[in-house]
Amino acid sequence: MTPEALAEFTSNPAVLASGRNLLRAFPDLRADLRWIVADGDMVVVFHDVRGTQQGPWLLVTEPTERHVETSFMLAFRFDDEGQIVDQWLGSNFVDARSARLGLCARWRTSVATELKPVRLTELSADCTEN
């Protein structure tokens, strides 16, 4: 799916932006559906995903060209026309970013409190464990 194709499924700017950002960061993104549950206007899906980080994603401001594999859960609420009107995401992105993108333990510890974008080059000098 291309980032532009998402507009077929939602007109919510927040849903569009999060999907587009993910697809731009991981243009080779692949997802394997593990399970799905639907109840009324809500659908929850659990995926295994993999791709190569080739653009800004979450707090990583530059491409790493590293392959990432993780799992995450997405919950969607749909309107009467079948369009996504809201979404929620559940994942261990700190673990996925740090382990798969090569970030050091010092950064993994501080990210939860600082939550600011960083450049990987800023970390390499004092991350001797990588």
Q: Where are the domains of the chain?
A: 3-123
- Distance between CA atoms of residues 128 and 44, nearest Å: 40
Q: Which residue has the higher pLDDT, 116 or 95?
A: 95
CA distance to 4, 16, 33, 70, per residue, from 82 (Å): 18, 15, 20, 28
In what helix (H) or strand (E) does residue 67 lie, and over which residues does it extend? strand 67-78
pLDDT, tens digit, for every residue of 57-87?
Answer: 877 888 889 888 888 899 999 999 999 999 9
Percent of the chain whose pLDDT exceeds 90:
37
> Which CATH entry fits the domain spanning 3-123: 3.10.450.50, 3.40.630.10, 3.40.640.10, 2.40.50.140?
3.10.450.50
Q: What angle do CA 64, 68, 70 make, to 5 degrees?
A: 145
pTM: 0.66
